[in-house]
Amino acid sequence: MFPISSDGVFEDPSTFFDQDKFLEDLLVDFDFPTSSEGNDHGENVVMKKRPRKALSSGEVPDDNKGRSSDSKKSAHRFTEKQRRQEMAALHASLRSLLPLQYIKGKRAISDHMHQAVNYINDMKKKIEEMQIKRESLRKLQYSNVGSSSGAAVESGDHRHNYSSSTRDSSDCVKINHFKDGLMEILISSSINRECFPLSMVLADLLGRELNVIHCVSTRIDRFRYLHKIQIEVRSID
């Protein structure tokens, strides 16, 4: 029997065979999707995986490359953070050593570095000036204000004394140099002389930019006067 269509017309069976063959050809030529998302009917579809490319001996997988890059970045960030902390500590230490007048109104690190150089140069100049003063004091220790007949030297931990050993000498000088920055000059002058030039001695000391803090003259006996001068000296050693 031949199938009858809905409109009562007989259909040729060969047409069904041709349609089935056409569908089979379509199914053979059609490529199914590789993922299961395209299967709407829930049928099991065989997934075809592409073969992975074999890695050479020196080649690193992509996931390992990413991990290595992240570890390098982390190490770089840690090193940079540590360097900044050390620089901040050094800058704070440098700023604490500089006097206020050098860094007042200056906040930049470059300004502080420049002022540190200026401070070092100023300190060098002051040290050179103090060395000159020290040399002048040493020369003063070996010189007498007037003509001295002799000198007796005593060496100790606290002082160096230079004095005359005879009462009949015209003038003599005794200098005591203490560790606390004070220097004492004792000048013994004869009464027989008309006038001892004490003012010249003070003028010479002031000309050397020495700080005279005390000066007194006393008659010690019938023959001599004692002039006592105290000077403040800063140690540079």
State the pairing for strand pair 160-163/171-177.
Answer: unpaired
As a whole number of angstroms, the distance between CA 18 and CA 61 comes to 53
Which pLDDT score is estimated for 198? 78
Evaluate whether 162 touches 144 at the Cβ level (below 8 Å): no
DSSP 1: -
The answer to whether the beta carbons of residues 80 and 72 sit under 8 Å apart is no
Give the position of tokens 């800058």. 91
CB 201 within 8 A of CB 150: no
Predicted confidence at residue 118, as pLDDT, reads 92
Tokens of 139: 């020369």
What is the structure's pLDDT at 48? 52
What distances in angstroms separate CA 207 from CA 129, 186, 212, one per listed residue?
Answer: 14, 19, 11
Q: What is the pLDDT of residue 78?
A: 92
Instruction: Profile the chain (237 residues) by mean pLDDT over runs of 10 residues.
Output: 51 54 60 51 51 56 70 90 91 89 86 91 91 77 47 38 44 78 82 71 83 84 83 65
Cβ atoms of 102 and 96 within 8 Å: the answer is no
Q: What token pair was written down for 229?
A: 């001068």
pLDDT value at residue 202: 84
